[in-house]
Structure 1
Amino acid sequence: MFQLNNKIAVVTGGGSGIGKAVALLFARQGALVHVIDLNEKGGEITLQEINDAGDKAFMHACDVTVQEKVQEVFNEIGNVDILVNSAGVSHVGNVENTTPADFERIYNVNVKGVYNCLQAAVSIMKKNKKGIILNLASIANSVGLQDRFAYSMSKGAVYAMTLSVARDYLHEGIRCNCVSPARVHTPFVDDFIKKNYPGKEGEMFEKLSKSQPIGRMAKPAEIASLILFLCSDEASFITGCDYPIDGGFIKLNN
C-alpha cells in the first residue's frame, strides 16, 4: 500500500522541515522526486540523502514567488503526477504591528507562491487528465492564534485555494486536498524561538510543545505520512478536504 512507483512528484520547500520529510518518504515509496527550494544548499542536502538511499531525485533552486521562474522549472520537469506545496514562511504580529513589508512577504511566499505552482502544475495535469495536489495549510485556518495575523491570512487563503481547485478540476481527474498541522518541530521552530525569545529558548519550547493537548510538537515524518496517504491511490476517493493533524489542538484544547 501507499506505493508511488512511476509517479513524478514535485515538492516545494523540500530542502528542510516537512517538505524534506515528504521528499524523502516519497522517494522511498518509489516516486521520482523533484525538490524545489530557494535554499540551494538545503535542497542539495535533501537530494544527496535521497540518492544515498538509492532513490531518484532532482533539485531545482527556485523562488516560488517569481512566476516566470516557477514556470521555467515546471517546463523543465515536463510531467507532474503529484504536487506538494510545502514552501512557506511565518510571522509574529497582530494587525497593528504587522508592517506592509511583513504582510507582503507572507503573501508573496504563502499565497502567491502556492498560486504560481498550482497554475503551472494544473495546466500539465489537465492535459494528462490526472493529478494529485496537496497543500500545506495550518490549524490557523480554523482557530484564532494570537499574534499570527498575516500568517493566518495566508493559510486561510491556502485552504480556500484548495477547495477552489478541487471543485474546478473535479472532472479533470485532479484531486486537491490540504493538511493543517499544529506546531511541528523543525529547524524553523528552533530558529524562530531563538530569534523571538532569546534567553528563554528552553522555557518557550516547553510552552509551545504543551500547547498541543498530546503534550508535544509533531515530527515532520508524522506529517509526511499523512501526506503520503492523501497522495496515494488508496486515497483516490478523497478531494476537497482539509485534514487537521494537530495533537488534539482544535477539538481538545479547552
Structure 2
Amino acid sequence: GGNPMFGHPGVGNGQSLDTPLGKMLRINPRQADTRGTVSANGAFRIPPGNPFPDGTVPEIYSYGLRNPFRFSFDRGTGDLWVADVGQNDIEEVDHVTAPGQNFGWHVKEGTFLFDAGGFQLKGSRSDGFPFANSPGSPANLVDPVAEYDHDDGTAVIGGYVYRGASMPGLSGHYVFGDTSRRLNNGQGRLFAFDADHRSAVTADNTIVELRDAPLDFQLIGFGQDSAGELYALVFGVPGPNGTTGAVLRLSQSGS
C-alpha cells in the first residue's frame, strides 16, 4: 500500500520482507500436525518449504502484491491463482507456481513500470512504460498471466478455474470479474481466460467477457460448490445495504 497523499515509502510494503503486508502467507493451523516450526505466537506452524523460514516474517510464501482479492486453488491441478487489485491503471491475475516469487508491486503495476514517488505508471496513463524496457530495474520479477486497464473496470475480483460439468465451454478457464465498469454504477463484469492452454507470453493472454452486457449489480466475489459449479456474489448500488445482496449461479444461456 501507501498513503495516496504522499506517494509510497522508499521500499514499500510489497517489497519488504519485514512485514506481512502485500504478501501471500502460508501457515498450518492444524494442531495435530507437528510438521514445521511453531509460530512466534504459538497459534500455528510454519510449513516446511516456506521460502523465508529464518526471516522476520517466516509465514511469507510470495510477495510484491498490492491487494490480493481473492485467491483460489484449482481443484483439478492444485495450482494457486491470485487476483491483485491495482492502484492507478492496471488490474491483474497472478499464477503462483513456486515459493518466493516476487510479483513486483510497487516497482511495477501489471507489466508496467510504476513510479512510486510520482504515484503513477511511467509513461502515459493508457499504456504506461513496459517494465521489461526499464534498464537497471530489479531482476526476476514475475509478470501477471492476465491484465487489463481501467478502461474496462475498477477493481479485479478473483474467481476459480472452472471444473464443473454444466458449462463445458468454460472447462479449464479461470473465471473472474471486476466489481464495476465504473465506480459505484452497478455494472459488474464477468471475465474468463483459458488457464489450461494459456500462452507462455503473458501479454498475449486473451480475456473474454462472459456476457453481452455488464451485470446490473456490483460484483464482490465468487463461490464454488462441491460439484465445481460457480456462483457470483453481488449487491446493489451504492453498496451493501438492506436486501440488495444476491447469490447468482453461473450458467450458459438457456440452461
TM over 0.5: no
TM-score in terms of structure 1 length: 0.28
TM-score in terms of structure 2 length: 0.28
Q: Per chain length, whose mean CA-contact separation is higher, i.e. which structure has more relative contact order (CA < 8 Å, sep 6+)?
A: 1
Larger strand proportion, structure 1 or 2? 2
- In terms of Rg, which structure is larger? 2
